[in-house]
Amino acid sequence: MRPKPLHGLRVLDLTRLLPGPLATQHLADYGAEVIKIEDTGAGDYARTMGAMNGATSYFYQVVNRGKKSLRLDLKNEAGRALFLRLVASADVVVEGFRPGVMDKLGLGYTTLAEAKPAIVYCSISGYGQTGPYAQRAGHDINYLGYSGVLDQIGVAGGPPAIPNLQIGDLLGGSLSALLGLLVAVIDAKATGRGRHVDVAMTDAALAHAIFPLVEVLAHGGVRPRGEDLLTGGVPCYGVYETADGRHMAVGALEEKFWLLVCDTLGRPDLKAAHLATGADGTQARNELAAIFRGRAQAEWVAIFDAVDCCVTPVLRLEESLANPHLAARGMVVEVAGVRQFAPPVRLSEFEPGPATAAPEAGGNSDEILAGLGLDAAQIARLRADAVI
């Protein structure tokens, strides 16, 4: 049995809320040892955000599984000394504070790199470590606003729509952080020298706005919201309401799929409107809308499940969790009685899990510090002095 792919990688996770914790949970899922380091006060605010499941929130529980927890006061000299001892045994440090906070604590990249040249130090922030906005506060909605992404989300004639998938936080703060730090880890293993990985969530959202960029390059500006190829501007790619107030997603971009859609609907006269825009496109979309309103979603699913033409239901998440394909892929797992998402990337000769539940605050302090060589009396003194 091969060890997990990230076995032996030790990660010190100073992040809170969503972007950083989800990134480090992915690392834990693939075998890294992730030590979640929280202050001795409030710690990770996610613990008490939203619906609670016992002592902690569901939110906290589904983005922190498989980790260990140490509560450590980094404003205390003894706490900083312990952190530096941990760095000596670590490969990666991930932090999500505003630029400069770790430097003020005396634990910035330069300091840690002097102590351990191979350390990979990943900083996740809204606007990056440099630039005029570096010190500004922000959330996902702000990063999407600055990157031009929010402007493109929504229907024609309507205002920008706020997605319930945090594109900046997750594409930027989680996945881009994983990309950057793993690139740096590979480099550090080869050269013995780590890097400071500067992840800006606004940068990541901007760097993936491919279709709006194409419009700017070709025409000097984006199309109005809801009028681009992939935002509802053509009949073959859009969302259509059904008789029961549900929706079907039509993604028949390729002509062969569109022709099948038209034949399945018994409307060969619509074939010429495949990529129609303007008045012709509007008329064809209205025709399709009227057709889809004629049957309930379940009826359309029964019809199109038998036709390979990219027409599928728009499911609610509770339905997705029970979807037979996603179930067959093992995408829903249960950890300590809580249903959550499995690791999304499959690897040969690797089975994820079993994962441990998200840790209690400081639940692994004694174990972690004993691993540094501290005895029970030393750990007790640290606790008495509120260092841990």
| Residues recognised as catalytic | 139, 169
Bridge partner residues of 94 (DSSP):
13, 122
For strands 196-200 and 237-241, give the pairing.
unpaired
**CA distance linking residue 155 with residue 311, whole number of Å:** 19
SS3 sequence, 100-156?
A: CHHHHCCCCHHHHHHHCCCCEEEEEECCCCCCCCCCCCCCHHHHHHHCCCHHHCCCC
Judge contact between 61 and 334, C-beta under 8 A: no
Closest CA to 208 of 141, 144, 138, 133: 144
DSSP states of 247-302 as a string?
Answer: EEEEE--SHHHHHHHHHHHT-GGGGGGTT--HHHHHHHHHHHHHHHTTS-HHHHHH
Task: Report d(CA 25, CA 68) in Å as an integer.
Answer: 11
Phi/psi zone of residue 278: left (φ > 0), alpha (ψ -120 to 50 degrees), beta?
Answer: left
Distance of CA 146 to the CA centre of its chain: 19
Q: Which residues contact 187 (CB under 8 A, 6 or more apart)?
A: 193, 194, 195
Site of tokens 């952190």: 83
Q: Give the rounded distance of the alpha carbon of 205 from its chain centre.
A: 12
Give SS3 for 96: coil
